[in-house]
Structure 1
Amino acid sequence: MSKELDILIIGAGLSGLAASIQCALSGHRVTVLESAKELAEIGAGLQLTPNATRLLLKWGVYDTIRGLCEPTTCTVYNYKGRILAHEDHFDKNNRRKYNAPFSDCHRVDLQQALVRKAEELGVKVVLSARVVDLDFDVGEGQQKRASVTTEAWKTYEADLIIGADGLWSTTRSVFLGRKDSPLPTGDLAFRIVLQLKQIEDPKLRKMVQEPGVRFWAGPDSHVVAYSMRGGTMYNVVLLVPDDLPDSVARVEGNLEEMRAWFEGWDPVLTQLLEHVDRVDKWKLMHRAEMESWINDQSNLVLVGDSCHPMLPYLAQGANSSIEDGAVLGLLLALPHFKSKHQLPKTLRLFQKLRKARGEAIARETFKQRKDFHMRDGSEQEARDALFLRQLGKELVGAFPSRWTCPVVQPWLYGYDAEKEPYEIGRLSRMFHHPVINMIFRS
């Protein structure tokens, strides 16, 4: 049988576009269906960590992203403004340790760069294509095809559907056979994008123009801020307890309410907030872990936020989604994938490789929330003492900020998605080795 697949990807987010690029590079025919009418500037800033940028470099995408900023420093303050942790040469250190950059950008700039690359590779990206129906039992034979019908009553058939439709995934609900809504985490985010021209204070302007990652850790809350678009734009995210009704996921925020949350915090932060003229308020959601990401017919697989959404506290939602797309596409390439008959085993191997990592990162984000959201008291004092003991020194052991933690950072940033299939391939010649057979049975 032919090794070429017709692949249909639902969702032109980062996981879907990453999957489209690597699947196209692997020789398959790929179509992406996106419900939005255009790829608009939604979601504001994004932190790209080395586990994803090494893939963007490999694909020739990284250097086409508009206005990338590599932060030269990474600093954690307590909410009063005292420095708890600081790393100079953060940009150079990441490139040295992981052979790939840590960069900040606008989400839409990355999305558009990925779309351009996908289309260069022959991927069809169809906008205004909201999926309303899926059928996983099309045709005859052991390996069923699947079909998708859009709101415009256009039907697409494929050997494989990749569900990459995000946190509010329709594909996930169809797969489970029931409506499966996201669950509140108890947090919400005030999301802010400031233009440099909005800021008059020279010190604040300098902070924006000289890229660095900054965190403020405080009671029940924390803040992250960084530059993007070449230092002409500043992204600020304020994480606080959720007070939105269950039925509301996103609203325009109230500026006075936002500022009141941070009254008494570091004057640098509160002065910055005085320049804000608009803020969005987002409920932060998550999902329960799934038993499987693959349907019984082995013609549907879920990736990204549709199966392992994450709190944004380690910036890994986007980065791990890019990993998903890369690993799936690589597993569908020669020398591993030689026939459509191998699709069920290939998807099971993908799940084996990716599910544990994706879910472990999701759990780690909750641990970071705990360490950054401590109320004043003995636990917070012990945390700060741990920070301060290593200030200005080479970090050793577990550290409250996983952004520079010598235990967690290598696990996150050092992951090489491209090596995953090839490590197994070298061991096993893919599916004919006892090790792989044991994986499939487990």
Structure 2
Amino acid sequence: MVSPENSSSVPEEARLRVVIVGAGLSGIAMAISAALSGHSVEVIEQAKELAEVGAGLQITPNASRLLQYWKLPASLWDAAAEPTKVTVHRYSGPVLAHDGAFDKSIRAKYNAPFVDLHRVDLQQALYARAQDLGVIFHLGERIERIDFDNTVVQSVAGKQFTGDLIVAADGLWSQCREAYVGKKDEPLPTGDLAYRIVLTVDQISDPDLKAWVQHPEVHFWIGPGAHAVGYSLRRGQMYNIVLLVPDNLPPGVSRQSGSVQEMKELFVGWDPILNKFLDYVTNVDKWKLMHHGEMKKWVNNESNLVFIGDSCHPMLPYLAQGANSSLEDGAVLGLLLGHMTDKAQLPGILRLYEGLRKSRGEAIVRETFKQRHDFHMEDGEEQQKRDEIFKSQLGKELKGAFPSRWTCPEVQPWLYGYDAIKEVENAVVKNPGIFAQQKSRRSLCQFL
């Protein structure tokens, strides 16, 4: 793998002014990748500071190898928890699937780790790296309109940001998306909501639960219409729990303070270990899980607007690929721009990016809905058949389709084995005309 410090920058005449709207994971990933490729990058973010109070993220090898490639600070890896085991439980507690050497098998298969991180730790590490590379951030700037004729983004405060390319990285409620389609384009409810919980080890007095947190593993509990996932953060000093349940938030409400009692009543009869953790929860928020229909195109006709991350493929969190695929998007787009020799190549490069990323992003979205189906089965014949598949392979090497895609021998390699750097290298070789056409034309003119 080529180190980013050793990658060649684009020639002066091909350097773009890139304006990124949104400083979430996809936006900062794109900022890092484009800056490493030699382009000038500005990021517009409506938040006044990047100090988001977030929860946990599961960073799978398809993204962790990018964090290594970008040389993020050692402090990030110091704040990680690498789960040694992955277990799927029937909601009442019995084990359905178990990988007792998950960390070792993941590193052996993909040459990159699976780590659990606090979102704030990852965002701050990315932010610091982007600043080191000269990326300029404009915080507290909410965009009001986009002038596609002149490639200008204007903020509510009246500031204008002009560039050669606008990158829409402004997430689920993307204003760039609305500017592109020319109308309101609000996300749609999926029918589920999430309770997100983070407990520190100091909050937990039960010695058995403390030990559970301090020895990082991933546990799923799957049941009728709902499931839960728990994993450690910050080297076993925090525990992250996400409860995925049917949505009962009012229409138009995307987040609301929740009732701890209501939450606990949803899990009566579930595994006592899960309920012991829930006994330590003192307050909780409810998050409506939303999505969008597939966009026809991720690049506008003028070839000066391109979409990445949740602005074009928001997904259910059931495979933990929202963050990971967003990092992939930013890496691929920035790396492709690193092969520019002429600004006139930009339309072809953007469409190559779209060709590389759109089908994968949308396929992952569809796969998350399939995982919801397999994890949320109501008790009955279909659920019994699913559990038989689980139990028939318990303690054995998995073969064929498997109800948990986290260890499925068909889905896991497709997700975790994706290498954005190699994808770009291969695409450049297979599409020489995109990168050579304008350069050749200029050389011919000089000869004539």
TM-score (norm 1): 0.94
Give the aligned partner of residue 445 of structure 2: none
1:36 matched to 2:47: yes
In structure 2, stretches of 5+ residues that fail to align are: 1-11, 438-448
Q: Are 2:10 and 1:5 aligned?
A: no
Structure 1 position 279 matched with structure 2 position 291: no
Q: Which range moves more in the overlay, 272-281 or 63-72?
A: 63-72
User: Please, what is the CA RMSD of the aligned residues?
Assistant: 1.3
Which letter maps to 1:300? L
Per the alignment, in what secondary structure is the counterpart of residue 110 of structure 1?
helix
The answer on whether the counterparts of 2:27 and 2:43 sit within 8 Å (CA) in structure 1 is yes
Name the structure 2 match of 1:141: none
Alignment of 1:81-96 (within 5 A): 81-96=93-108
Tell me the distance in 2 between the aligned counterparts of 1:33 and 1:126: 5
| Paired residues of 1:424 and 1:430 also in contact (CA < 8 A) | no
Q: How many residues align?
A: 425
Structure 2 partner of 1:329: 334
Pair 1:411 & 2:414 matched? yes
1:430 CA displacement: 4.5
Residue 418 of structure 1 aligns to a residue whose secondary structure is helix
The separation in 1 between residues aligned to 2:154 and 2:73, in whole angstroms, is: 34
Letter in 1 for 2:358: K
Q: Which residue of 2 aligns with 1:48?
A: 59
Name the amino acid aligned to 1:11. G
1:114 corresponds, among 126, 134, 147, to 126
Opposite residue 389 of structure 1, the aligned amino acid is S
SS in 1 for 2:419: coil
Deviations 1:118-137 (A, max 9, x none): 00000011211111111010
- 1:296 counterpart residue number: 301
Matched-pair contact (CA < 8 Å) for 2:341–2:435: no
AA partner of residue 25 (structure 2): L
> Unaligned regions of 5+ residues in structure 1, if any?
139-145, 435-442
Aligned to 1:102: 114
Q: C-alpha separation between the residues in 1 aligned to 2:331 and 2:317?
A: 21
Structure 1 equivalent of residue 81 of structure 2? 69
User: What is the CA-CA distance between 1:422 and the residue it aligns to?
Assistant: 1.1
Aligned match of 2:5: none
Structure 1 match to 2:320:
315
Structure 2 CA distance, aligned partners of 1:200 and 1:77? Answer: 24
Distance 1:84 1:430, change over 3 A: farther
Report the CA distance between 1:64 and its aligned residue: 3.3
Q: Which moved more, 1:37-46 or 1:3-12?
A: 37-46
Q: Could you tell me which of 244, 248, 251 is aligned with 1:246?
A: 251
| Contact preservation (8 Å) 2:80, 2:235 | yes
8 A Cα contact 2:345 2:435, kept in partner: no
Q: Give the superposition deviation at 1:423.
A: 0.6
Asked if the contact 1:309–1:317 (Cα under 8 Å) also holds between the matched residues in 2, the reply is yes
Distance (Å, rounded) in 2 between the aligned partners of 1:64 and 1:133 = 38
Amino acid corresponding to residue 263 of structure 2 in structure 1? M
Query: Deviation at 1:425?
Result: 2.1
User: 1:142 maps to which residue?
Assistant: none
How far residue 89 of structure 1 moved from its aligned partner, in angstroms, is 1.7
CA contact (8 A) 1:165 1:306 kept: yes
Q: Does residue 380 of structure 2 align to residue 377 of structure 1?
A: yes
Aligned to 2:446: none
Partner of 1:215: 220
- Distance, in Å, in 2 between the alignment partners of 1:217 and 1:4 is 50
C-alpha displacement of 1:426:
2.3
Question: Aligned letter for 1:5?
Answer: L
Q: Which runs of 4+ in 1 moved over 3 A?
A: none
**Which residue does the alignment assign to 2:6?**
none
Structure 1 residue 429 and structure 2 residue 432: aligned?
Answer: yes
Which residue of 347, 354, 376 corresponds with 1:344?
A: 347
Q: Is the 8 A contact 2:294 2:362 kept in 1?
A: yes
Are the counterparts in 2 of residues 70 and 102 from structure 1 also a CA contact under 8 Å?
A: yes
2:124 and 2:367 map into 1 onto residues whose CA distance is: 29
**Deviation string, structure 1 residues 226-246 (Cα, Å, up to 9, x no partner):** 000111111100000000011
TM-score normalized by structure 2? Answer: 0.93
- Structure 1 residue 106: Cα displacement: 0.6
Once the two structures are TM-superposed, the CA of residue 432 in structure 1 deviates from its matched residue by: 7.3
Higher mean C-alpha displacement, 189-198 vs 351-360: 189-198
Q: Which stretch of the first structure deviates more once superposed, 270-279 or 177-186? A: 270-279
Q: Find the counterpart in structure 2 of residue 78 from structure 1.
A: 90
Shift in Å at residue 433 of structure 1?
Answer: 9.3
What CA deviation, in whole Å up to 9, does each residue of 1:292-327 have, x standing for no partner? 011111000010000000000000000000000000
